[in-house]
Amino acid sequence: MLRLIARRLALGVLVALTVMTLAFLLTRLSGDLAVSIAGPQATQADVEIIRKAYGLDRPLYVQFFAWTGRAMVGDFGQSYFFKDSVANLIQKRLPITLTLGLVGLSLALIISLPLGILAALRENTWIDRGVTLFTMVGQAVPSFWLALILMIVLGLQLGILPISGTGTWQHFVMPGIVLAFTAIPALTRLTRSGMIEAMASDYIRTARAKGLSRARIIFKHALRNAAIPVVSIAAVQLGFMLGGSIVIETVFALHGVGYLGWESIAKNDFPVVQAVVLVLAVFYIGLTLLADILNALLDPRLRTG
């Protein structure tokens, strides 16, 4: 187990360094940062002053290693637009994005696991076909369109849920539903296929021959093995939710990290953009590591893989 964790950590560090390099280079390739900070009305003298003040006159590799060294200790510099430390901005916004992602994943699991199990147990019946149709529709529906429909129906017409803000838990219900629908199709199909394969395996036939109850066979034996790929894809989906929450946060006016990233791109606030990309990547790496550990606990064979 320790060797597995060490290998995954080493791979995660390499991925994080790659993301840092790409985030730094892409912001520099987008144009002259000094000109972007100074604005269209600035003179060349103003641009040169800003370039020197922010260290943009130094060689590119010097800027990169300076930013990398600070980022490794949590210092992402100062925001050009918000006039605050980038770390402080992310610290304020991150709980909103994490809450939104966890709500979305929880709703997705609550819906997809029972649907996948039911479809597998009723394979090739109208129930199975109905679940398949539901997942196809869920995958085809654009998230922003679903968000607008929910806002109109549940927020404006029925008035049972707020359509913007983060004051109460009700504010996260509609955004959570929209995020959940992005993950439900994959989780449902994976649960269904895993349960079908597990129910047809030899150890399930042995369990039936021993006279174990159907519920015990399904939930203790079959689901345990079918859940291994589901754990991995759930971690990946949560990473996608955190990284892709920019659309949902913008539609519902949730001022999380995704919305912060959108604001920073619009304002050419590149220190914030670099930090947001890095932080979300680190969360994604951590989630995949956690999924590997959980899978190793569920299947001891993976501990030496």
User: Are the C-beta atoms of residues 254 and 207 closer than 8 Å to each other?
Assistant: no
pLDDT value for 130: 92
Res. 198 pLDDT band, cuts 50 70 90: confident
Question: At how many degrees (to 10) do helices 270-298 and 223-243 cross?
Answer: 180
Does the residue 169 lie in any domain? yes
Of 97, 64, 106, 147, give the one whose Cα is nearest residue 284: 97
Does the residue 29 lie in any domain? no
Does the residue 236 lie in any domain? yes
User: Are the C-beta atoms of residues 166 and 97 closer than 8 Å to each other?
Assistant: no
Does the residue 30 lie in any domain? no
Number of independent structural domains in the chain: 1
pLDDT value for 301: 63
Does the residue 80 lie in any domain? no
**Could you report the per-residue pLDDT of 12-51, keeping only the tens digit for each?**
788 888 888 888 887 777 666 777 676 667 777 777 787 7
Does the residue 123 lie in any domain? yes
Give the CATH number, domain containing residue 288.
1.10.3720.10
Of 63, 65, 61, 56, give the one whose Cα is nearest residue 31: 56
**Could you report the per-residue pLDDT of 251-295, keeping only the tens digit for each?**
888 888 888 888 888 777 888 888 888 888 888 888 888 877 777
Parent domain of 224: 86-304
Alpha-carbon span 119 to 135, nearest angstrom: 11
Average pLDDT over residues 149-157: 88
Average pLDDT over residues 185-203: 85
Higher pLDDT, 227 or 186: 186
What are the tokens at 47?
A: 């641009």
Over 80: is that where the pLDDT of 8 sits?
no
The average confidence (pLDDT) of the chain is 81
Per-residue b or e along 157-191, where b marks 16 or more CB atoms closer than 10 Å to that residue's CB? eeeebbbeebeeeebbbbbbbbbbbbbbbbbbbbb
Does the residue 40 lie in any domain? no
Question: pTM of this prediction?
Answer: 0.78
